A and B are shown apart, each in its own frame.
Chain A
Amino acid sequence: ETGVTQTPRHLVMGMTNKKSLKCEQHLGHNAMYWYKQSAKKPLELMFVYSLEERVENNSVPSRFSPECPNSSHLFLHLHTLQPEDSALYLCASSQEGGGGPPYEQYFGPGTRLTVT
């Protein structure tokens, strides 16, 4: 595997289910991100793990819970979601720090989530 992988690619879940999205980066990067892309809206940054520090967007509901066990893996745990949470969830990674400008992010293919 190369780049950034995400599983599953598609997920349909009920509002009472608990599921997890998985992301893995094979690029040796030190920062990982979760984004949400809803129809006709810009990419919304949800969570950042950078240099082992978690930076959380305070507007993300608690029904979304990230986990970053190491610099290569990122999870997004989902529970009691709402239909409006249906969207494309994208994972990304980048190499941060070093005193230079922000580097470009490498994105996974996304998980298309439908909440019924």
Chain B
Amino acid sequence: DQQVKQNSPSLSVQEGRISILNCDYTNSMFDYFLWYKKYPAEGPTFLISISSIKDKNEDGRFTVFLNKSAKHLSLHIVPSQPGDSAVYFCAASPSYNTNAGKSTFGDGTTLTVKP
């Protein structure tokens, strides 16, 4: 049973518009969430995170929203730029897991931003 799901394998948006990437989770023990971005031939790089004590975290063009009751989070990128084209992974972890740092990853969503 996949505990973290990204139901949209791909997303295409026009440059300058908003990109919204979604992630759902099933494990109620998850209370810390991270987004990673991955370019081809590179490893994933950390983008932004959110703790369950918050419902929003913003960093420049990137904002993550968390809806605990729905077990849903989303990453908003605005305005989208062609350089944002990459695979985006959602990851979740119990925050008590500080000594292992194990995160459960989703399948990833491939974002294409068209000029």
- Within the complex, the shortest CB–CB distance from A30 to chain B, in Å, comes to 9
- Contact count A vs B, C-beta below 8 Å: 82
A91 to B49 CA separation, bound complex (whole angstroms): 20
Whether, in the assembled complex, B29 has its beta carbon less than 8 Å from a beta carbon of chain A, the answer is: no
Whether, in the assembled complex, B60 has its beta carbon less than 8 Å from a beta carbon of chain A, the answer is: no
A96 to B44 CA separation, bound complex (whole angstroms): 19
Secondary structure at chain B's binding surface: helix, strand, loop or mixed? loop
A97 to B89 CA separation, bound complex (whole angstroms): 24
When the two chains form their complex, are residues A31 and B100 in contact, meaning their CB atoms are under 8 A apart? yes
A24 to B60 CA separation, bound complex (whole angstroms): 31
Among the 9-residue stretches A14-22, A48-56, A67-75, A76-84, the one with 4 or more Cβ atoms under 8 Å from chain B is A48-56
Whether, in the assembled complex, B70 has its beta carbon less than 8 Å from a beta carbon of chain A, the answer is: no
When the two chains form their complex, are residues A4 and B43 in contact, meaning their CB atoms are under 8 A apart? yes
Whether, in the assembled complex, A99 has its beta carbon less than 8 Å from a beta carbon of chain B, the answer is: yes
Q: Known contacts A42-B108, A109-B43, A110-B43; is A104 also within 8 Å of B100 by CB?
A: no
CB-CB contacts of B15-53 with A at 8 A, as 1s and 0s?
Answer: 000000000000000001010100001111110010100
When the two chains form their complex, are residues A94 and B101 in contact, meaning their CB atoms are under 8 A apart? yes
- Kindly report which residue of chain B lies nearest to residue A51, judged by CB atoms: B99
Chain A residues with CB under 8 A of B4: 42
Please tell me the number of chain B residues within 8 Å of chain A, measured between CB atoms. Answer: 28
Whether, in the assembled complex, B2 has its beta carbon less than 8 Å from a beta carbon of chain A, the answer is: yes
When the two chains form their complex, are residues B93 and A107 in contact, meaning their CB atoms are under 8 A apart? no
Whether, in the assembled complex, A61 has its beta carbon less than 8 Å from a beta carbon of chain B, the answer is: no
Given contacts A102-B93, A107-B43, 19 further A-B contacts (CB under 8 A): A42-B89, A42-B104, A42-B108, A43-B44, A48-B102, A50-B100, A96-B99, A97-B99, A100-B98, A102-B32, A102-B95, A102-B98, A102-B101, A102-B103, A105-B101, A107-B45, A108-B43, A109-B41, A110-B42
Provide a sorted-by-A list of 14 A–B residue pairs whose CB atoms are within 8 angstroms: A31-B100, A42-B4, A42-B105, A42-B108, A43-B105, A45-B104, A48-B101, A90-B43, A97-B99, A101-B93, A105-B103, A106-B45, A107-B43, A109-B41
Name B residues whose Cβ lies closer than 8 Å to a Cβ of A.
Answer: 2, 4, 32, 34, 36, 41-46, 49, 51, 89, 93, 95, 97-108
